[in-house]
Amino acid sequence: MRKRLLLHICCAPDGVYIPEKLSEDYEVICYFYNPNIFPKEEYEKRKSEMERVAKLKGYKLVVGEYNFQDFVKRAEKLYYLPEKSARCDFCIAMRLEDSARKAKEMGCDVFATVLTVSPHKDFERINELGEKIAERYGVNYLPSNFKKNDGFKRSVEEGKRLNLYRQDYCGCESSLVYRRMFKDAESRDTVFLFYGERVGIYDLDSVKRFLERNNCLTGFVFYKEEPTENVLRYAYELRLFVEPFSKLDWRKRIFEKKGKKVEILKLTDIANRDIFLDPC
Ligand code: SF4
C-alpha cells in the first residue's frame, strides 16, 4: 500500500506539477494553507486557482484556515526585514507547522511542501525547518528540492498551458510593498544607488529628500557596516531598499540590462548637498 503524503501548497503555479510527480510513489493530499497572503482578495484568487487545478487534475485538496490576524500579530514586527530573513523563517515555519499538525490529524505518514520548487527560496533552510517541526509533531517530513530535474521548468510550462494566474510577489504585505517599490524604481529612466560606510537615520532622510527632488519614490542604499535595527525599520517606513555593499554591482547590472541609466552616489555627498540646499 502506498504511503499517504500531505503536501503543503502555496499557490497554483507551484502546486500544478509536483502532486502529479509525487503520486508515482505516494497517495497525495494537497493542503492549501497560507495565512501570510495579503490582501484577502489575493488570497482568494490564489486559492481558487488551486481549486481549479485540483479539479482539472483530479488532485485531492484540503483548504486550511485563513488565520491572517495570527500571522500579522507576529510577523508585522519583522516586516522591515528583507526576504530570506527571520520573517521568512517564521512564515515558512508557521505553514509547515500547521501542515505537520494536519498530517497527524489526517493520519498521513509524511508531509512535504512545494515551497522548495521556487528558485527564490532556500530549499536547504526549508528542509531544516521541516525536519525540526516533524520531530516536534512526531510525523515524518519529506525533504525536497523540487526545482531539481527541471521541476521548476515543468511547473512553469504546465502553469502556462493551463493559463494559471502567476503572482508577481511572494505573498505577505511586506513582499508586496517591496515589489511596488521595485516596480517604481524600474519605471524611471534613472535609478539612484547610494553607498556609504555607515548608514544612519540622517542619511536616509537626505536620500529621501534627494529622491523627492528627482521625482522618485524609492532608491537603493548600500552599507559596509551593518545598520542598526532602527535604521532598517526607518528605511522600510521611507520605502528605501537597504542592502550590503557587496550587492551594489549586481543591482547596477540588473538595472542596466533593463536599459536604465544608473547613478551611483556617495552618501556623504548627498548629505552635504542636502545641507547646502536645505539649511533649515
Ligand atoms: S516574503 Fe514570502 S516567505 Fe517571506 S514572509 Fe513574505 S510571504 Fe512569507
**Mutate which of 8, 34, 88 for ligand 1 pocket (most atoms within 8 A of beta carbon):** 88
- On whether the CB atoms of residues 44 and 66 are closer than 8 A, the answer is no
Q: Residues 131-151: what's their mean pLDDT?
A: 96
Total Cβ atoms within 10 A of residue 57: 17
Our answer on whether the CB atom of 140 is closer than 6 Å to any ligand 1 atom is no
Q: Are 14 and 118 in contact (CB under 8 A)?
A: yes
Question: Ligand 1, closest atom to CA 75?
Answer: 5
Q: Which pTM was predicted?
A: 0.91
Q: Are residues 209 and 163 in the same domain?
A: no
**Residue 140 clears pLDDT 50, i.e. is over it:** yes
Q: Final residue of a domain: which of 170, 202, 217?
A: 170
Q: How many CA atoms lie within 13 A of 68 on its CB side?
A: 12
Distance from Cα 201 to the centre of ligand 1, integer Å: 26
The count of domains in the chain is: 2
Let me know whether 23 and 122 are in one domain.
yes
| Residue 36 Cβ contacting ligand 1 at under 6 Å | yes
Same domain assignment for residues 87 and 129:
yes
Mean pLDDT, range 100-118, rounded to an integer: 97
The predicted structure's pLDDT at residue 248: 97
Please report which confidence band the pLDDT of residue 279 belongs to, taking 50, 70 and 90 as the band edges. Answer: very low
> Coil, strand or helix: which one is 169?
coil
Whether the predicted pLDDT of 104 surpasses 80: yes
Per-residue pLDDT reduced to its tens digit, 203-231: 999 999 999 999 999 999 999 999 999 99
pLDDT of residue 280: 42
pLDDT band at 83; cut points 50, 70, 90: confident
Same domain, 8 and 105: yes
- Verify that 166 and 249 share a domain, yes or no: no
Which residue's CA is the nearest one to ligand 1's atom 2? 170
Three-class DSSP category at 24: coil
- Give the CATH number of the domain where residue 261 resides: 3.40.50
- Looking at the fold, whether 46 and 145 belong to one and the same domain comes out as yes
More confident call, 1 vs 158? 158
Is residue 28 domain-shared with residue 145, that is, in the same domain? yes
Report residue 229 as a C-alpha cell. Answer: 535595527
Q: 150-208 pLDDT, tens per residue?
A: 999 999 999 999 999 999 999 999 999 999 999 999 999 999 999 999 999 999 999 99
Span 99-108, average pLDDT = 98
Q: Is the domain of 13 the same as that of 126? A: yes
- pLDDT tens digits along 21-65: 999 999 999 999 999 999 999 999 999 999 999 999 999 999 999
Q: What is the mean pLDDT of the chain?
A: 94
* Same domain (yes/no): 17, 113: yes
77 with 19, same domain: the answer is yes
* Distance of CA 37 from the midpoint of ligand 1 (Å): 9
Any idea what DSSP says for residue 112? E
- Binding site membership of 88 for ligand 1 (Cβ less than 6 Å): yes
Is the peptide bond preceding residue 244 cis, with omega within 30 degrees of 0? Answer: no
Q: What is the mean pLDDT of residues 57-84?
A: 94
Domain that holds residue 269: 188-277
Residue 69 lies in a domain: yes
Nearest protein CA to atom 4 of ligand 1, as residue: 88
pLDDT given for residue 273 in this prediction: 65
Q: For residue 84, what pLDDT band results from cuts at 50, 70 and 90?
A: confident
User: What is the three-class DSSP state of 107?
Assistant: coil
> pLDDT value at position 276?
52
Is pLDDT above 90 for 113?
yes
